[in-house]
């Protein structure tokens, strides 16, 4: 909005020429979302407490978590509101990718809201049924994938898969790419959801991964940098840097209230939304497989659940003391803050490794 209002005036007021630059608008999108999140946070916590929208703690979980019973949840609404306002203020509103990622985060946010509403307000123990949740997630992901694959404005969108560290291995999936894109988006959404089990655990890696995609989006949308790095040039993808910046700012503001001991939790409305948005950005920028590296924490957490369930069904025994993996470390004696910080450190290392794939081919 500000881009359209102020940049046309740069001929008369030269300073306004800065609105042309994605880097400038990304920086201020981060600050705007952060400020909105910090200002609205106490109000949101107060309202959640007033309407008794509190987290229910599973009785079979770590005993230390029982003290968190009743902590305000569904705080992900704060993240979504903050980042949507910031994105609309700073992004080029004529950019279709910007609207696509906004649809993604709002859509997955609504699914998460529905799930939280049934669980917290209606007291349905498990919220949405698994089949219901996956169906609506699949349909939303399918809509996003079909838009990218079929829309005339994105007719140059490639169905090729680009393998990290390999320059010439680019299998073309054809129509199968649609299902692959759905898998990436829906899988990331649920992986972040599984990781959201400790105070600040999920939001830290989200900030780190999204910061990585700020750079990837900018480079993918810049024809010279994309050519130099031999990555796919996606016209207009640079504007996704502003959206990613808004996620970072809103998430930092949320972390202010979510850090140990948490004043509120994001709930499924936040985790499903952020994961879905991150997966959508990865698909648009054609760095889907890099997401496995940069989002390694989410991948490991998801695999720990899958391995635990399958191994238990086959042998009747457990691989981990408790799944997801972060609970296993709590069970062996790690304090919650130690688990959180160490997972953040691993996320930073994985982000640096993922950025190396831009050049190491």
- The tens digit of pLDDT for each residue in 326-341 reads 999 999 999 999 999 9
Rounded CA separation 60/38 (Å): 34
| Alpha helices (runs of H) in 285-335, residue ranges in sequence order | 290-294, 296-315, 325-331
Give the mean pLDDT of 98-108.
98
Mean pLDDT of 276-281: 98
- Average pLDDT, rounded, for the chain: 94
Q: The tokens of 76 are what?
A: 């992900």
Residue 167 has pLDDT above 60, yes or no: yes
Can you tell me which residue has the tokens 């949320």?
A: 254
Q: Give the pLDDT band (50/70/90) at residue 156.
A: low
Whole-number pLDDT of residue 255: 98
The answer, yes or no, to whether residue 277 has pLDDT greater than 90, is yes
Task: Map residue 54 onto helix, strand or coil.
Answer: strand
Q: Per-residue confidence at 152, pLDDT binned at 50, 70, 90?
A: low
pLDDT bin (cut points 50, 70, 90) of residue 316 is: very high
| pLDDT at residue 7 in the model | 85
* Listed residue (279, 259, 229) closest to 337, CA to CA: 259
pLDDT higher than 80, residue 108: yes
Range from 47-61, 78-92, 262-276 carrying the lowest mean pLDDT: 47-61
**Which pLDDT does position 70 carry in this prediction?**
85
For residues 153-178, give the mean pLDDT: 84
The pLDDT assigned to 69 comes to 84
Residue 282 has pLDDT above 60, yes or no: yes
Cα 305 from Cα 104, distance rounded (Å): 26
* Helix and strand counts by DSSP (H, E) for the chain: 14, 0
Share of the chain above pLDDT 90, in %: 82
Provide the pLDDT for residue 157. Answer: 75
pLDDT of 306 higher than 60 = yes
């Amino acid at each position: 909005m500000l881009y359209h209002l102020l940049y046309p005036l740069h001929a008369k007021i030269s300073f306004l020429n800065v609105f042309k630059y994605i880097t400038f608008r990304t920086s201020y999108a981060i600050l705007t979302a952060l400020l909105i999140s910090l200002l609205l946070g106490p109000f949101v916590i107060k309202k959640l407490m007033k309407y008794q929208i509190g987290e229910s703690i599973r009785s079979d979980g770590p005993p230390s978590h029982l003290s968190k019973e009743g902590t305000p949840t569904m705080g992900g609404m704060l993240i979504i509101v903050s980042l949507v306002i910031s994105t609309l203020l700073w992004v080029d509103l004529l950019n279709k990718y910007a609207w696509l990622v906004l649809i993604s985060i709002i859509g997955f946010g609504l699914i998460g809201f529905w799930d939280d509403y049934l669980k917290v307000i209606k007291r349905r123990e498990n919220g949405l049924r698994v089949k219901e949740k996956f169906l609506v997630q699949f349909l939303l992901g399918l809509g996003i994938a079909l838009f990218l694959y079929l829309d005339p404005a994105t007719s140059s969108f490639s169905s090729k898969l680009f393998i990290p560290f390999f320059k010439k291995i680019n299998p073309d999936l054809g129509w199968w790419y649609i299902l692959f894109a759905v898998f990436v988006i829906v899988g990331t959404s649920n992986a972040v959801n599984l990781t959201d089990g400790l105070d600040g655990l999920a939001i830290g890696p989200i900030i780190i991964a999204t910061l990585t995609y700020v750079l990837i989006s900018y480079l993918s949308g810049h024809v010279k940098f994309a050519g130099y790095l031999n990555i796919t040039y996606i016209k207009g993808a640079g504007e996704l840097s502003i959206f990613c910046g808004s996620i970072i700012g809103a998430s930092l503001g949320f972390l202010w209230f979510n850090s140990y001991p948490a004043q509120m939790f994001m709930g499924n409305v936040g985790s499903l939304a952020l994961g879905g948005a991150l997966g959508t950005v990865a698909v648009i920028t054609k760095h889907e497989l890099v997401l496995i590296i940069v989002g390694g924490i989410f991948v490991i957490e998801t695999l720990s659940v899958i391995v635990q369930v399958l191994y238990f069904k086959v042998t009747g025994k457990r691989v981990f003391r408790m799944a997801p993996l972060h609970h296993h470390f709590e069970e062996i004696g790690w304090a919650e803050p130690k688990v959180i910080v160490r997972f953040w450190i691993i996320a930073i290392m994985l982000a640096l490794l993922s950025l190396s794939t831009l050049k190491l081919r």
